[in-house]
Amino acid sequence: MASVYINNVQKHYGAYHALKGVCAEMADGEFVVLVGPSGCGKSTLLRMIAGLEGISEGIIQIGSRVVNDLRPKDRDVALVFQNYALYPHMTVEENMSYALKLMKTPKNVIADKVGSAAKILGLTDLLKRYPRQLSGGQRQRVAMGRAIVRDPQVFLFDEPLSNLDAKLRVQMRTEIKQLHQRLKTTIVYVTHDQVEAMTMADKIVVMRDGVIEQIGSPLELYDRPRNVFVAGFIGSPAMNFIPGAVQGDRFIAIDNMHLPLPSGAHENVATYGIRPEHLKLDDTGFPADVIVIEPMGFSTQVIVKVADTLLTVISSERLVLQPGSTVHLTPHVPAVHLFDSNGLRISDLVDGISRSDH
């Protein structure tokens, strides 16, 4: 196991500046997820850690070693891709043994390592099967098995679940998290899916256009997003953003929407952010037209419209509502997120408020 230290890493592909001074620390044993929209540079950064991509500038350190000039095979990392290709003519056991054989590992050691990885992954009964005789999830587990037998310092995953169907993805998410709890090896995991990031990570690194927007635990990012981008990216359904301006002790948005502010709110608030679960239905709040009702079973999602703005509301109740009817909404003030005209969070006005207090 080892930490990963990334300092001011730059990547140029010809004229294209793909990574613009990335700094991040991944502690020994931590599960770190790199998340961001497609094209933001996640795979590039992961491949640079693996040694598959040159580093234009900056330092990457694994454990105590600067690895900038080390070949991939000398870095002691194992990479699992989205398109993990298993060798079709080899059994599960042979697929998992292959890298160790190449390293001339003694037979009995290979058997031990493959046996224990198979046990961890629930593949013991499938060792003699060929890839074509496996389900998608089982194949994914074999791909992970190939990485585990190498007993690397760091696991690198690049969107390993994106080829699986939704149900299997959720199941594999749990399996990978359990695997990490058992092995405690440092994991750097790339995904564009914020739900995967939230559910799996100890620490999330949010990227956009080759820069890091914020680093923090899932709930830190959820409760205190540093800017509008992170606020809108983390959380599903996404945070509601309402443009407007402060007047006295209220935030005045479009017609009818006078929103309550935490006391002492800055004048330079330009955007009022409120998560769907923090808009409460009551009799006294601002009026909104019901557009669509989405019963989810454990909750009800309602899309409403105020003047030209659509807002999403989530209630833990089973609401009986009709499209076209009017509801009244009150934001839960301690959970309001305020941003300035540059989209930056205005630091919390009331210290020590627990966002879960709703």
- Told to check if 15 binds ligand ADP by CB under 6 A, we report no
Q: How far is the CB of 42 from Mg ion (least distance, A)?
A: 5
* Cβ-contact 117, 96 below 8 angstroms: yes
Region of residue 63 (phi > 0: left; psi between -120 and 50: alpha; otherwise: beta) = left
Binders in 32-71 for ligand ADP, by CB under 6 A: 36, 38-44
Of these partners, Mg ion, ligand ADP, none, which one is at the site of residue 39 (CB under 5 to 8 Å by kind)? ligand ADP
**C-alpha–C-alpha distance, residues 170 and 155, integer Å:** 20
**C-alpha–C-alpha distance, residues 152 and 174, integer Å:** 21
**C-alpha–C-alpha distance, residues 139 and 156, integer Å:** 18
Q: Nearer Cβ to ligand ADP, position 35 or 123?
A: 35
Q: How far is the CB of 31 from ligand ADP (least distance, A)?
A: 19
The one segment of 12-20, 119-127, 169-177, 317-325 that binds ligand ADP by CB under 6 A: 12-20
Q: Nearer Cβ to ligand ADP, position 11 or 139?
A: 11
The binder of ligand ADP chosen from 8, 12, 13, 325 (CB under 6 A): 13
Q: Nearer Cβ to ligand ADP, position 17 or 224?
A: 17
- Told to check if 214 binds ligand ADP by CB under 6 A, we report no
Q: Residue count at the site for ligand ADP (CB under 6 A)?
A: 11
Tokens representing 157 are 């995953």
- Told to check if 227 binds ligand ADP by CB under 6 A, we report no
- Told to check if 160 binds ligand ADP by CB under 6 A, we report no
- Told to check if 298 binds ligand ADP by CB under 6 A, we report no
- Judged by the rule CB under 6 A, the positions of this chain that interact with ligand ADP are 13, 16, 18, 36, 38-44
